[in-house]
Amino acid sequence: MLPYVVQPGDTLLRIARRFGVNAASLQAANPQFIASSQLLPGLLLFIPPHEAVMYCVQPEDSLLRLTSIFSIPLMDLLKANPFLDPKKLVPGQMLSIPGGRYHRIIDPRAEYGFRELDEDITVLEHEYPFLQRIQIGSSVMGKPIHALRLGEGPRKVHVNAAMHANEWITAPLLMTFIEDAAKAASIGSQLGGIAIRELLQQVTVWLVPMVNPDGVELVQEGLRPDHPHYTELFQWNRQSLRFTKWKANARGVDLNDQFPAFWEEEVARRAVTGPGQRDYPGEAPLTEPEARALAEFTAEQQFDLVIALHTQGQEIYWNYRGYEPPEAERIAAQLGQASGYKPVKLRGSDAGYKDWFIHEFRRPGYTVEVGLGINPLRIDSFPDLYDEIRPLLLAAMEAVIRK
């Protein structure tokens, strides 16, 4: 077995993803260390060898189908089966399926934080040069807040994700959509039955995949002793090093209660007097750099429609105090039909990004509560979540043309 020294930020799933091994096998090989969800840097682990599985070829199989099912590159499959005739698969034939590599750029099989986001954007930029990245601001801890642009159309759609820290799964969902849309535009294929290249000639999409990178890091990795705000965060988190319930940024402020839309009423309703895991609106609107960057970017771009991805509930919130435009409810119904989510006319909520956008610009804005369960949603639910979100985002792009 291969020895490996745990690095800062490592988790069980991240290490398994990096080495292309089964997480259960990794845990079995290191039972003395993996019992805790937080791995201490410097621990010595042992990485089990890759294990191939055997597969019996079925009548409907093709090489393309097998590489897709098992998430492996074609060359890896051919190398593992040197006597295979790639032009002729024989039903009943036994194939060796190698473990390890993943066939996509975005790999959602483990925690997805700022490090993965930054690396993946770099790869996407290289693969799809028409994809534009800009920095719209920085987090409390100085991490860049990235925005990605697809398309050249006159109508503008914006989608943001991971504003609440323990809802970080929305970031790889949005990044997977970016990868799929960019690939379809590059080769001139369809996505969800829609010709993406033609659609992006009519629509420009600006996406901010991770609004709250500092909070995401806390949720995924816990609080380390070298964190600059260790003492405050430890107290704000009820003297726990585990941050799985944390929604706020690194200053304990809930970013989705930071926008100037009846902010004072939200403060009174929340009745949270200081920083903590969730629901503290801050000392004033837009005091936090993450919220301020998103608001300034929105004002600069003048979007026609915005979506904020959150979890969970399988609901779409589309209204705000009667300031929403007449077409808002109709578009919400279209998004609901595409995703299977329920459009909900929400009351008793202020100071959110969607609220502020509707109030400020009188244009359609939506909060989409992705999936069902307890935050953070389970990683193994990702394929089902993406099947719900991809058609919703495509429907939003089409709707803004007909608006």
Active site residues: 369
**Whether residue 310 is found in the same domain as residue 391:** yes
**Whether residue 72 is found in the same domain as residue 158:** no
Q: Is residue 166 part of a domain?
A: yes
Quick one: what percent of the chain has pLDDT higher than 70? 97
pLDDT at 279 over 80: yes
**Whether residue 75 is found in the same domain as residue 121:** no
Per-residue confidence at 101, pLDDT binned at 50, 70, 90? Answer: low
**Whether residue 294 is found in the same domain as residue 347:** yes
pLDDT digits (tens, 9 = 90+) for 207-239: 999 999 999 999 999 999 999 999 999 999 999
Spell out the residues 6+ positions from residue 56 whose beta carbon is closer than 8 angstroms to its own: 92, 93, 94, 95
What integer is the mean pLDDT of 131-159?
98
Exposed/middle/buried for residue 18 (C-beta within 10 Å: 0-12, 13-18, 19+): middle
Output the domain CATH number for residue 338: 3.40.630.10
pLDDT at 192: 96
Q: Is residue 311 part of a domain?
A: yes
**Whether residue 180 is found in the same domain as residue 64:** no
**Whether residue 14 is found in the same domain as residue 126:** no
**Whether residue 78 is found in the same domain as residue 140:** no
Quick one: what percent of the chain has pLDDT higher than 90? 78
**Whether residue 92 is found in the same domain as residue 129:** no
**Any idea of the CA torsion for 282, 285, 287, 293, to the nearest 10 degrees?**
130
pTM here? 0.86
Length of the chain: 403
pLDDT at 26: 87
pLDDT digits (tens, 9 = 90+) for 171-215: 999 999 999 999 999 999 999 999 999 999 999 999 999 999 999
Q: Is residue 250 part of a domain?
A: no
Q: How many domains does the chain have?
A: 3
pLDDT at 153: 97
pLDDT digits (tens, 9 = 90+) for 292-328: 999 999 999 999 999 999 999 999 999 999 999 999 9
**Whether residue 126 is found in the same domain as residue 166:** yes
pLDDT at 35 over 80: no
**Whether residue 139 is found in the same domain as residue 40:** no
Q: Is residue 262 part of a domain?
A: no
In the predicted model, what is the mean pLDDT of the chain?
A: 93
pLDDT digits (tens, 9 = 90+) for 329-378: 999 999 999 999 999 999 999 999 999 999 999 999 999 999 999 999 99
pLDDT at 100 over 70: no
CA angle 222, 223, 224 (to 5 degrees): 115
Domain that holds residue 64: 57-97
Pairing relation of β-strands 190-191 and 194-195?
A: antiparallel
Distance separating alpha carbons of residues 22 and 27, to the nearest angstrom: 9
**Whether residue 208 is found in the same domain as residue 72:** no
pLDDT at 395: 98
Q: Is residue 321 part of a domain?
A: yes
Q: Is the Cα torsion angle 336, 342, 343, 348 positive or negative in sign? A: negative
Output the domain CATH number for residue 22: 3.10.350.10
Q: What's CA 42's distance to the chain center, in Å?
A: 29
**Whether residue 196 is found in the same domain as residue 314:** yes
pLDDT digits (tens, 9 = 90+) for 160-179: 999 999 999 999 999 999 99
Distance separating alpha carbons of residues 147 and 169, to the nearest angstrom: 17
